[in-house]
Structure 1
Amino acid sequence: MWCYTFYLILSIVLVAHPATAHESFRIASLTRGFDVNNTESEVLGGSEHDCYRPCVAGDVRICKYSFTLVEYTTMSRLCGDCPYKTEDCHKPGCITAGGDIREVILANHKLPGPSIQVCEGDVVQVDVINTLSSHSSTIHWHGLHQKKTPYMDGTPFLTQCPIQPHNSFQYKFTADPPGTHIWHSHSGFEEADGLYGAFIVRAANDSLAQYYDYDLPEHVMAVWHWYYSSTASVLKTALHRSDSVIGYSLTINGLAATVKFNRDGVNYTTPRAEFTVTQGFRYRFRLMHNSALYCPVQVSIDNHKLLVIASEGGTFEPVEVDSLVINSGERYDFVLSADQEIDNYWIRYRGLGDCVSSTRDVSSEAILRYHGVNSTADPEGPIEYQDANRAGVVLNPVEVANASYAENSTLILLTDLNRTTSNQPDVSGTPDHIIYMQYSYNNYYDFHSPGPFPQINYVSFEFPPIPLLTQSEQITDDIYCSETNSSSRDCVGEYCTCPFIYMVGLNSLVEVVIVDEGLDRFDDHPMHLHGHNFQVVAMESIGGSISLDEVKRRNENGTIPKKLIGAPNKDNVGVPAQGFVILRLIANNPGYWFFHCHISNHAEMGMGVVLKVGEHEDMIQPPDSFPTCGHWDVTKKAASSSAYSILLDAGGKNGIIIFYLLIVAVVNAVRR
């Protein structure tokens, strides 16, 4: 009996911190991360993975993926004689991204990274191996609500510690809700430098199937703003020098024809993205966009109209449009009917906002090819910037108070859409919480970088030193601020930062009123909410007379028309420049959820807040072995978390030996 007890105690001590075999992250980056011929489905993703399949009710699978994060360079030696030999541009491992030579951050040596294509209810497991030399990282599953797994949301210092270089982390969660989503890094500018990909969740018995014949993985369309150098080197320099921020290029699925090369008097470019259809069929396209600066994109296809049927995780009555505008973080699904002559057609992407300047107007193109046409020829027609300003019906216009659209254009706002998504909560009652947020750009000339800083309520968000969800027992009043607590606000002159939290009750009805008072810029800031979707119940562009006080007065007097029945579901919405938007949601997912502008630079500069839903006892906690982090002070020795660490602190490995001898002595004494 005593022997059994001894071995039990010893096993508990040693298992508390088991030894792990050494894993070479240098080898991982040089082999697994750069193995461009890897045929493992968990590395390739997309249609190569077993979890891409027709979705059938009851067929739920565990879908495993592996992401090795690596640093690489575009137009590398793997590109051979690209662009002069087009076939070299398609060699395994060649990243062209428009032709500029620059550093990129990738998953599995792919731009975009591996696509995840699964069915609703599948369990997704992603092993992230960080081989970056100096960057920590997290992966956010943009659009997935993480119900029952809030610690898998991938937001650093809110739901997890960053994954440090030479470390790995396993994400595991249920794919929900169905829709067109994104995975991307939520650390610094890694996403803007290539660490992103598509995350598609299909549903069994899809209610939208009546509108299309094919929903193919190759018809995902990821439109990303792209710089000629690392994003931080461009935007941080502009901030420190008080220079203007302007756009540079747009890639579509990692491809563009940005740089013009010349050899022997002949011009060459790197390849554009191509999408193939067969005449007579209808195809569902899944469109997504992000940008490091304010650059909404107008999308159109020559000679074709777009039947828009869904956005993010929500569906609505289809609307036929000539073009649509997509803002950072948004996703739209449209159906293209291949009913034109068999030919090649330009797909046009016209940048707006900061992608229009006196020195550069940013636009890009992809090619729609019908089967049976010349597969190497470009479509006919010019491809200048203004050629992408498609007249007709425009969905989701931006800068309505100030921008000009093509003549004879009809504008469809989000609030004009009629939701068809089933089983949505009733938000028509009296809100339990009304949150008012004010946007503006502010300069602080007593600060070393005067800005302008995009801010909410004149405060820049700063992440706390610990993940609030997973280390809630360490939260003190002085590490966050709220509407009633400003103790953690840190200021230089009038410039202030803090981790700002709005607290709402679990299952409460929340109304969020966001007012843009930026009178010197005309940005429709795209706000993204983690962990929930919301209903867009009101939206209005006012102009230079906009004020938070006036909108609040109108809201309290009930003079703002609200669409409380049938409003569209979104998790990402552009707030009209010099206008306002009103959102409603049922806060039914307990946790700490980031609500922030999805322009990468604005998020990095602190344009965000946290929505705390419920109390800590309502929140699902991570496994006991979940990583922790935070400040450490040698003068404040923390209590050890296990018997192993107590013994190790007391005497290193000798402490374990002494403990072993002590147990043996006790056993022998008892036996005598």
Structure 2
Amino acid sequence: MKGFRAVFVAWVVVLFGCGVVYVAAEDDGWGEWAEEAPTKRFVLTLQQGMRSIACMDSVVMVVNGTYIGPTLEVNEGDNVEVLVLNKMNNLGATIHFHGVKQKGTPWADGTAYVSQCPIPPLGRFTYRFNADKAGTFWYHGHQLLSFASGYGAFIVHPKEKKFDYDEDAGVVHFGNQYMDSLQGIITGLKSNPFVFPGAPQALLANGKGIYNCTAFSECLTCTFGDSCRHEVMHMEPDTKYLLRLTNAGILSFLTLGIQQIPMKVVQTNTGSLKPFKTDFLDLGNGQSYSVIIKTPKKRGQYWLQAIMRFRESEGLIPARVLLDTTKSRNYPKETPSVDGFPSNDDLQFSRKFMNKLKNKKTENLNPEYDQLWTIVSEETKYKNSIKWSLNNYTFQFPDTPALLANQYGVELKRKVTVSEPPMPYDYLTPLAEQGLSEFANLGLNVLTAEYGQRVRVVLQNGLNFGGESEVHPFHMHGGDYWVLGRGQGIFNATKDMEKLNFKDPPMQSTALLLPSGWTVIEFLADNPGFWLFHCHIGVHSAMGMVLVIAVAPERIPEIPGNHHICGEVTVNKVLKHNNCRTQTI
């Protein structure tokens, strides 16, 4: 095998400290690459730096010196090589290419302690994969809350133009900005008493926004300049633009609209949709949509606005982008109101919007399936901490990445398989009121699917300790899934079957579980690997709202030789696995 030959030919072992070893080979291996396809190469340098963001000075992770990293653009079918240099002195890092299937290259998924060891401080790692699907993706860190900063767009252009538009306007990244550092937020989530960060101090569009400081002491620390204003995109009148929208925020569920301009929704991250027009669009954390807008014939200035919903957001200034066709370069003195937007808790709008999402391709799926998993989300406790749990297990990442453990014969500690709740109960009534324990177990929940199986997953919402049900955008690594349907209340397999769409369900890698409701998804297990499945609200993931899907572990290709080792995978284990007699050459 190519991968085996790669790790056998010439080993060089370099110690980086922090318990991580990098093993390089003469041939790194490329997984299931298209041999004749061109290769596009990029370098991403990760550093920490002080930046003025939304009128606040903050220490953030920057990519190639910028808070929003460079946009990487390739063509469908290209091979992609991304060298990541971790120039941070005290933090490990990974880069995940959000929405990319990584078919045959599970080691390039960029998930710390699942697909790889973190890139150690001052270390490097090269991600290699094939861009097999066109669409709008983005890259971000995937260790703790690192995806809150240091992210950027990854665009795969189709071989043939799919949609009717004149110009590609590029990407609008929406994000969150906190006064506290990401490490401070993590510390608060793990502390006793528990400290929840609450709403962000600012909503961002392409790294820009305005902090509405409410105290004089806060205003004294405010900064001014280009970052303390809204984003501007210069456009031409009477022109159709393709606009790519992503939500990289760690907390804020967004609803957006454009002043006087309707949006035609045409695509999820990769899945083409039956186009439909809307004045407002829901954009959950980790989601992306492509829309087509047509600017009016008369020159003018039009605001794209995004508000946070399903959380308290009083005083929070919307994320805004000025679409300017005037050529005057004058910034308007007034910003529009958000009157007419869906209200904070308007579930009816969200259900109607998502019911419009139909696959452009008629699927006519077979209603039969091979496995059924029921995943219940609930806010629980573990020891003295507040946690989110799935099926009464709050997630603990392993010391040894699951992918490496599988190859090198390491047993994963605290591994469990819990594909349904421990018992049936009323998921929308507080646990204590039912006489049930509020404490969850700690474990590494790994659900396994055999190659070629169709797995149906019922996502059932529960409650937080305030007795409220929250929105959860669930993201699956390693591929897309069909979103068969959703509803309110507790899913009933008998009466709710008629609500499922087998004809033209949309394909998404991140779908919404609405408050007090359920969502049914289904995926084809055709990509061997260990894939994270988690709520993409960063603070919820950090609190344990995670599990791992193992697809055909026995079929996972040999990991190429350019990987780090950590945990219980030692140099000797690697050498023994490859029948090497010497430790270094």
> TM-score band (shorter)?
0.7 to 0.9
- Describe the SS at the equivalent of 1:507: coil
Distance 1:230 1:148 in 2: 36
Distance 1:325 1:271 in 2: 24
**How far off is 1:414 after superposition?**
2.2
RMSD: 3.5
| Match of residue 279, structure 1, among 233, 237, 244 | 237
Query: Which residue number corresponds to residue 374 of structure 1?
Result: 328
Question: Cα 1:176–1:431, aligned 2, differ >3 Å: closer, same or farther?
Answer: same
| Match of residue 513, structure 1, among 458, 467, 485 | 458
Counterpart contact for 1:323–1:390, Cα < 8 Å = no
Structure holding more strand per residue: 2
Question: Cα 1:362–1:62, aligned 2, differ >3 Å: closer, same or farther?
Answer: same
Distance 2:564 2:93 in 1: 14
Pair 1:113 & 2:113 matched? no
Question: Cα 1:142–1:168, aligned 2, differ >3 Å: closer, same or farther?
Answer: same
Q: Give 2:331's aligned amino acid.
A: A
Counterpart contact for 1:469–1:621, Cα < 8 Å = no
Query: Which residue number corresponds to residue 435 of structure 1?
Result: 373
Query: Which residue number corresponds to residue 122 of structure 1?
Result: 78
- Describe the SS at the equivalent of 2:332: coil
Pair 1:483 & 2:418 matched? yes
- Describe the SS at the equivalent of 1:336: strand
Counterpart contact for 1:415–1:567, Cα < 8 Å = no
Counterpart contact for 2:394–2:546, Cα < 8 Å = yes
Question: Cα 1:485–1:215, aligned 2, differ >3 Å: closer, same or farther?
Answer: closer
Query: Which residue number corresponds to residue 460 of structure 1?
Result: 394
Distance 2:267 2:444 in 1: 34
Distance 1:187 1:454 in 2: 18
**How far off is 1:200 after superposition?**
1.0
Gaps of 5+ in 2: 1-5, 17-34, 422-436
| Match of residue 330, structure 1, among 272, 281, 287 | 287
Query: Which residue number corresponds to residue 27 of structure 2?
Result: none
Distance 2:578 2:224 in 1: 69
Distance 1:59 1:374 in 2: 48
1:537-580 deviation line (CA, Å, top 9, x unaligned): 110123xxx4xxxx2xx215664421001011111011011110
Counterpart contact for 1:588–1:613, Cα < 8 Å = yes
Query: Which residue number corresponds to residue 29 of structure 2?
Result: none
| Match of residue 449, structure 2, among 491, 494, 504 | 504
Query: Which residue number corresponds to residue 70 of structure 1?
Result: 47
- Describe the SS at the equivalent of 1:596: strand
1:112-158 deviation line (CA, Å, top 9, x unaligned): 11111111111111111111111111111110000021111111122
* % identity of equivalent residues: 22
Query: Which residue number corresponds to residue 352 of structure 1?
Result: 309
Query: Which residue number corresponds to residue 152 of structure 2?
Result: 197
| Match of residue 215, structure 1, among 163, 168, 183 | 168
**How far off is 1:412 after superposition?**
2.4
| Match of residue 248, structure 2, among 266, 290, 294 | 290
Distance 2:13 2:418 in 1: 47
**How far off is 1:641 after superposition?**
4.4
Pair 1:611 & 2:549 matched? yes
Distance 2:563 2:240 in 1: 46
Structure holding more helix per residue: 1
Counterpart contact for 2:484–2:521, Cα < 8 Å = yes
Pair 1:420 & 2:360 matched? yes
| Match of residue 448, structure 1, among 384, 401, 404 | 384
Counterpart contact for 2:273–2:358, Cα < 8 Å = yes
| Match of residue 470, structure 1, among 404, 409, 414 | 404
Query: Number of residue pairs matched?
Result: 536
Q: Give 1:69's aligned amino acid.
A: L
Distance 1:642 1:235 in 2: 37
Gaps of 5+ in 1: 1-11, 23-57, 75-95, 487-491, 650-655, 657-672
Distance 1:257 1:113 in 2: 20
Query: Which residue number corresponds to residue 429 of structure 2?
Result: none
Query: Which residue number corresponds to residue 589 of structure 1?
Result: 527
Q: Give 1:626's aligned amino acid.
A: H
Q: Give 1:97's aligned amino acid.
A: I
Counterpart contact for 1:516–1:576, Cα < 8 Å = yes
Counterpart contact for 2:399–2:567, Cα < 8 Å = yes
1:473-532 deviation line (CA, Å, top 9, x unaligned): 32437541113999xxxxx99442111011111111111001102162231100000111
1:541-620 alignment runs, 5 A limit: 541-542=488-489, 546=490, 551=491, 554-556=492-494, 559-616=497-554, 618-620=555-557
**Structure showing greater relative contact order (alpha-carbon pairs closer than 8 Å, 6 or more residues apart):** 2
1:62-95 deviation line (CA, Å, top 9, x unaligned): 1111111111001xxxxxxxxxxxxxxxxxxxxx
**How far off is 1:242 after superposition?**
2.8
Question: Cα 1:567–1:320, aligned 2, differ >3 Å: closer, same or farther?
Answer: same
Question: Cα 1:362–1:242, aligned 2, differ >3 Å: closer, same or farther?
Answer: farther
Q: Give 2:236's aligned amino acid.
A: T
**How far off is 1:307 after superposition?**
1.0
**How far off is 1:589 after superposition?**
0.9
**How far off is 1:267 after superposition?**
8.9
Q: Give 2:154's aligned amino acid.
A: F
**How far off is 1:381 after superposition?**
4.3
Query: Which residue number corresponds to residue 363 of structure 1?
Result: 318
Q: Given the two structures, how large is their TM-score scaled by the length of structure 1? A: 0.73
Counterpart contact for 1:437–1:513, Cα < 8 Å = yes
Distance 1:317 1:600 in 2: 31
